[in-house]
Chain A
C-alpha cells in the first residue's frame, strides 16, 4: 500500500536530518532546528557540507524570516493571503521543521466546535468513573501544549467567532483551564500556533480585535515576477495534464505567457508595460485560476478540437474566471478587451474569441 500523500516531515525527513546535523546555532527550547536552519529548510540552499536543500517556498526570503522570528518570540503566527498562495503549504513545513510533526491540525469550518479546540470527553469513561484526567480526549491544540509543539489551525476565519475566542486564553496565558476538574493544562515551552486565513472571502468571521492582537500577521504575496508565475503555471499544467490523462500536446509557451499576462494585468490593475492603468475585477485572479483556465482549454481542444490549444479554447474559461460579478466585472472585462487586448496586434485572435463570448 502506498500513501497518496505523505506528510512533509516524512517526505523531507532526509533533508531535516542533514540540517539538524549541520545546525550549530542556538535552538529555542523544544525546537528541532534553530530559526536560521528553519528558514533555510523552507527557502532551500546549500549546506556547509555540500548537501543541497530543496526550496519549499519560492519567493521573498524576508516573508519566511519574519514568520520564523515570530514563532521564536512566542507570538502566534497568522498566515494571511489570497487563495492559492501556499499558506497551508508553508504552515505544514514550518511545523514539520520546528516540531518534526505537522499533524497537530484543527481544520476550521463553520461547524468547528469548542471541543475540537479544547478537549472532549470519553463518555463511557466519564459515566462509569466520573470526570477525571483519563476521561478527557485532548484536542490537537491541547496535545501540542502538553508536548511543547506547534499546533496548526487551518482557515481560522471560518470558525465561528465564539469558538475563535477560546484561543485568547491559550495564546495570552498559555494555559487551558479545565473547570470540570478545577485544573488546567499549561503549555510547555516550544508551543505555538500557526493559523491560516484568506482575506478574499466575504461573510467569514472576522477575528475579534482581542484575538487579532495576539497574532502576528504575515501576508503571503502572489508571485512577484511574470517569469516566476509562468514557470509555476506551466509546471502545474503539465503535472495536472498527466494526472487527468489528457493526451494533447503541452500548451505552447506563447499561450501560457498570454494567459499569465492577462491574469497579472487584471490583478495588478495595470498593463505589463506599466503605461496604462486598468480597473480590477472583484475576483482574485490567482495563479491557481490561471492554471485551471489552461486546463479546461486543453480539455476543450482535446475533446472538441484538433488537440492544439487556441485562443477560442481558453476564451470561455478566461471570461468565466474574470467575470464573477455580472455587472461590475463585465464592465471591467469589456474595458480591458477594448482598450488593451484590441490594441495588441498579435492578440487579435484572442480579442475576436472573447468578443464572441459576450
Chain B
C-alpha cells in the first residue's frame, strides 16, 4: 500500500497531522521529497546536539557556487518524518530528483542563477511563477490570500482527523492542478516533470523491494502526480541521459529570519515563530491558545517598557474572538490576534507590531549542528584560496607586507578584508605603507585562531563562497545600519574587499540614510571616504559612477544644511566643525566637479559672514574662499578688517583670525594689506582686551612653522610702512627707533 501525504513545507498543522497519521499507519518505509544525496548525512537529524532550524546543504565541491539549501524547522513535516523514521529504525529515503542532475541542469540550461531561489521545499515558491494556487483557492473561499486560508484550515486546526485532512488536501490539489494549469517556462515545467518522474521511480523501487506500507511525504502540489502512476518506461525514458555533477551534502545552521519569506528567501514561511508556537502548544482549545500567545506578547511589551496589563490581554482576546466571529471563522488566527493587539494594546500604532513581528512572529532563533558534520563549502572555498594564495593558517602571529600592484598580493588583501567582514579576524591591518613605500602597500598582522572553524560554520549561512557570504553580510549590515559614517566606511570596506555585488545595495542604503539624516556633521564626515572611492576607485577596478551619484546628493544636502549646522557652536564644537569642513573641502576639491564646487563655495560665502557663526568657522570659510580664488585680496582684506574692526568683541575676532590664518602665516608675509590690517587691529586693542586675547593669538601663532615665525618677526621689526617681502630693495628708509618699539611686544606674542 502506498500512502501519500501532501503537506505544506514548514507547516506545523501538517506536521502534527502527519505524525498522527504515521503512528496510526506504522509504515515500514518512509519516502520524503528531498535530494537523495543527503541520505548519507540524514542520521545527524537524531544527533543529540542538533538543534533546528538547520538546513541540508548540497553543493558541488568543484564549484561551490552551485549549491542548494533545504531548510528544516522543528515543525517541518519532513523533519518530523525523518526523526520518526530514524527513531524507529525504519528506512528513510529521499525521492526528489538528485541534485547531481539538478545542479548540472541549472548550469546547462539557465546559466548561473541566484542560489537561494532553488531551495524549494515550499509550495508557495514553486507556484510563485504564475500565482499561487493556494491563493486561488483561498480567494474562492473568501479569504484575502492563500496563506491565511491555509493557516485556518490546516495549520491552526485542532481536530484529530488526519486521514480526512490528507484526503481533502489531495482532492483540493487535484482540482487546482486540473483547473489552473501553471504557465511555467519550459525550463521550470521540464524540471517539474523530471522531479515527479524521479519521485515515482523511487516509489516503484520501494514497492519492488517488497515494502508493504509505504508512506510518501511530499509537497501538496505533487500529490496528484504521484497518485496516478504512468508507465515505468515513460518515466525512465525521461530520466535517461541527464547531465551530472559531483555533489556533497552536509548540515548548516539556519535562522528563523532566513526561513521567513520576509528576508527575501524565496522558499519561506511568513511566520516561523508563530508556527513554532502552534507546534509546541498542546492545548486543543483555540481561545486558550490565543491567550497564551497574547501573554507572550504582553511579556515582550513589558520587557520593552511598553504598558501592557492583564486587562489589555483580556480585551485583546475578546476583540480577536469578536473579529473571528464577524468573519465567520471558527477561531481567531494570527491575523485577528494582530489586529486586536494593534487596536487594544498599541493605540493603533504600528511600531510595536513590528517589534512583535521580528521578535515573536518570525523569531530570532539560530540553529546548531553537531561538530562532526562534514565541512561546509565555505570552509572548502577558504582552504582552496589559502592554497592558491600560499597563505597558511598558522597560530603564530606574523607580519605580511602586501604590494597591491601585484595581482597575487591584491587578491590576498581582498581575502583578508572579506574574512574581516565576516567576523573572522585572521588578519589586522597594521597600517598602509608610508614614506618610500607609497599608498599601494598594506601591512597585515595575521594569526589563525582555532575558534575560526566555528565562525566559518556560522558564516556559512550567508553563502557558500567567501565572496557570496561577505557580500550577503555586508548587504544585511547596510540595511540595518543607523549611522552615516559607519555606513560610509562600510562602503570603503566593501570596496577594499572587492565585493561588486554588495556595492550597489550598500551605496543605496547610504543614499537613503543620507536623505533622512538631519545632522550635517554626519553628512560632512561621510564625504571624504566617498570622495576617495570616487577618485581612486579605479585602482581597485570599482564602478565610480554609483558613488558619484551619492556624492552629488551628499554635497547638495551638506551645502543646504551647512549654515544651520554651524549656527551657535561653542569653542570645542567649532574646532571639530573646522576639521570636518576642512576634510570635506579637500574631498570636494579632490573630486573637482564644477557643480559641487559652486554649491560649496556659495555655502562657504554664507558662512564667511561674521556674526552668523563661530569666528573660527567663519574665518576658515573666508580663508577657503581666498585660497579658492573666489575672492581676491581686496575682498578678503575687507572681510578681515570687518572681522577685526573695533566694533567686534576681541574674542570672536581672535577666533576669526585663527580660522583665517589656518595654521600658516605665509599669507601675512605675502599680502601687505592683510598684514597691515592685523597690525592695526593689534595696535588698536586696549590694555584690557589685549591681555584677554593674548593666549588666543599666541596659540594661533605658535602653530606656525619656526621659519615662518622668524620671518614674521623680521617683518614686524621692519615696521608698519614696510612693503611686502620681495619688494624691499633697500633698508635706508628704516626708522630704527620706531621699528624697535613693538618689537618686545611682538616677541612675546610670537613666542620667539
List residues of chain A with CB within 8 A of the CB of B516: 269, 277-279
Selecting from B161-169, B310-318, B706-714, the interface stretch reads B310-318
Complexed CA–CA distance, A80 and B311 (Å): 21
Complexed CA–CA distance, A276 and B556 (Å): 14
Contact A218 B343 (CB under 8 A): yes
Q: A189: CB under 8 A from chain B?
A: no
Selecting from B275-283, B557-565, B583-591, B642-650, the interface stretch reads B557-565
Selecting from A70-78, A141-149, A240-248, the interface stretch reads A70-78
Contact B347 A217 (CB under 8 A): yes
Contact B309 A213 (CB under 8 A): yes
Of A36, A73, A278, A338, the most chain B CB neighbours within 10 A belong to A73
Chain A positions 155 through 191: 1 when the CB is less than 8 Å from some CB of chain B, otherwise 0: 0000000000000000000000000000000000000
Cβ of B44 to closest chain A Cβ, rounded Å: 43
List residues of chain A with CB within 8 A of the CB of B553: 276, 339
List residues of chain B with CB within 8 A of the CB of A35: 326
Contact A69 B323 (CB under 8 A): yes
List residues of chain A with CB within 8 A of the CB of B347: 80, 212, 217
Segment 35-87 of A: residues with Cβ below 8 Å from B: 35-36, 39, 62, 65-66, 68-70, 72-73, 75, 78, 80
Q: Which residue of A lies closest to B344 (CB)?
A: A216
Contact B319 A331 (CB under 8 A): no
Contact B348 A80 (CB under 8 A): yes
Segment 508-530 of B: residues with Cβ below 8 Å from A: 508, 511-513, 515-516, 518
List residues of chain B with CB within 8 A of the CB of A24: none
Contact partner of A327 among B315, B511, B564, CB < 8 A? B564
Complexed CA–CA distance, A192 and B381 (Å): 67
Contact A66 B339 (CB under 8 A): yes
Contact B515 A69 (CB under 8 A): no
Of B307, B309, B311, B339, the most chain A CB neighbours within 10 A belong to B339
List residues of chain B with CB within 8 A of the CB of A78: 348
Complexed CA–CA distance, A335 and B310 (Å): 47
Q: B322: CB under 8 A from chain A?
A: yes
List residues of chain B with CB within 8 A of the CB of A218: 343, 348
Cβ of A304 to closest chain B Cβ, rounded Å: 31
Q: Which residue of A lies closest to B324 (CB)?
A: A69
Complexed CA–CA distance, A334 and B516 (Å): 13
Q: Give the total of A residues in contact with B, Cβ under 8 Å.
A: 33
Q: Which residue of A lies closest to B346 (CB)?
A: A217
Contact A331 B561 (CB under 8 A): yes
Q: A219: CB under 8 A from chain B?
A: yes
Q: B327: CB under 8 A from chain A?
A: yes
Known contacts A80-B347, A217-B348, A218-B343; is A276 also within 8 Å of B323 by CB? no
Contact A62 B339 (CB under 8 A): yes
Complexed CA–CA distance, A218 and B348 (Å): 5
Complexed CA–CA distance, A70 and B319 (Å): 6
Complexed CA–CA distance, A327 and B325 (Å): 51
Known contacts A69-B323, A279-B516; is A331 also within 8 Å of B343 by CB? no
Contact A277 B564 (CB under 8 A): no
Complexed CA–CA distance, A218 and B557 (Å): 38
Contact A65 B327 (CB under 8 A): yes
List residues of chain B with CB within 8 A of the CB of A331: 560-561, 564
Q: Which residue of B lies closest to A75 (CB)?
A: B315
List residues of chain B with CB within 8 A of the CB of A75: 315, 318-319, 344
Complexed CA–CA distance, A69 and B557 (Å): 48
Q: Which residue of B lies closest to A328 (CB)?
A: B518
Cβ of A261 to closest chain B Cβ, rounded Å: 17
Chain B positions 271 through 309: 1 when the CB is less than 8 Å from some CB of chain A, otherwise 0: 000000000000000000000000000000000000101
Q: Which residue of B lies closest to A34 (CB)?
A: B326
Segment 189-246 of A: residues with Cβ below 8 Å from B: 209, 212-213, 216-219
Known contacts A276-B512, A277-B516; is A69 also within 8 Å of B564 by CB? no
Contact B318 A73 (CB under 8 A): yes
Contact B515 A276 (CB under 8 A): yes
Q: Which residue of A lies closest to B350 (CB)?
A: A219
Chain B positions 559 through 590: 1 when the CB is less than 8 Å from some CB of chain A, otherwise 0: 01100100000000000000000000000000
Cβ of B553 to closest chain A Cβ, rounded Å: 6
Segment 300-358 of A: residues with Cβ below 8 Å from B: 327, 331, 334-335, 338-339
Complexed CA–CA distance, A327 and B311 (Å): 44
Contact A72 B322 (CB under 8 A): yes
Complexed CA–CA distance, A48 and B339 (Å): 29
Known contacts A213-B311, A217-B347; is A335 also within 8 Å of B319 by CB? no
Q: Which residue of B lies closest to A216 (CB)?
A: B343
Q: Which residue of A lies closest to B552 (CB)?
A: A339
Contact B564 A73 (CB under 8 A): no
Complexed CA–CA distance, A73 and B560 (Å): 53
List residues of chain A with CB within 8 A of the CB of B556: 335, 338-339
Cβ of B505 to closest chain A Cβ, rounded Å: 13
List residues of chain A with CB within 8 A of the CB of B511: 276-277
Cβ of B508 to closest chain A Cβ, rounded Å: 8
Q: Which residue of A lies closest to B512 (CB)?
A: A277
List residues of chain A with CB within 8 A of the CB of B344: 75, 216-217
Contact partner of B323 among A66, A212, A219, A335, CB < 8 A? A66
List residues of chain B with CB within 8 A of the CB of A39: 326
Contact A213 B312 (CB under 8 A): yes
Complexed CA–CA distance, A36 and B329 (Å): 13
Contact B348 A69 (CB under 8 A): no
Known contacts A69-B322, A327-B564, A331-B560; is A219 also within 8 Å of B515 by CB? no
Q: Which residue of B lies closest to A39 (CB)?
A: B326
Known contacts A62-B339, A212-B347, A278-B516; is A72 also within 8 Å of B326 by CB? yes
Complexed CA–CA distance, A327 and B318 (Å): 47
List residues of chain A with CB within 8 A of the CB of B349: 219
Q: Which residue of A lies closest to B312 (CB)?
A: A213
Cβ of B567 to closest chain A Cβ, rounded Å: 10
Contact B322 A334 (CB under 8 A): no
Contact A335 B560 (CB under 8 A): yes
Contact partner of A338 among B311, B323, B325, B560, CB < 8 A? B560
Q: Which residue of B lies closest to A61 (CB)?
A: B144
Known contacts A276-B511, A276-B515; is A334 also within 8 Å of B326 by CB? no
Contact B348 A219 (CB under 8 A): yes
Contact B515 A279 (CB under 8 A): yes
Contact partner of A216 among B307, B315, B564, CB < 8 A? B315
List residues of chain A with CB within 8 A of the CB of B325: 69
Known interface pairs A275-B508, A339-B515; 9 further A-B residue pairs with C-beta atoms within 8 A, sorted by A's residue number: A69-B323, A72-B326, A73-B322, A216-B319, A217-B347, A276-B515, A277-B515, A331-B560, A338-B556
**22 pairs, CB–CB < 8 Å, chain A vs chain B:** A35-B326, A62-B339, A66-B343, A69-B323, A70-B319, A70-B322, A73-B318, A80-B348, A216-B319, A217-B347, A217-B348, A218-B343, A219-B349, A276-B512, A277-B513, A278-B516, A279-B516, A327-B564, A334-B560, A335-B515, A335-B556, A339-B553
Those 9 A-B pairs whose CB atoms lie nearest each other, nearest first: A219-B348, A277-B515, A217-B348, A277-B512, A69-B322, A217-B347, A216-B343, A69-B323, A73-B322
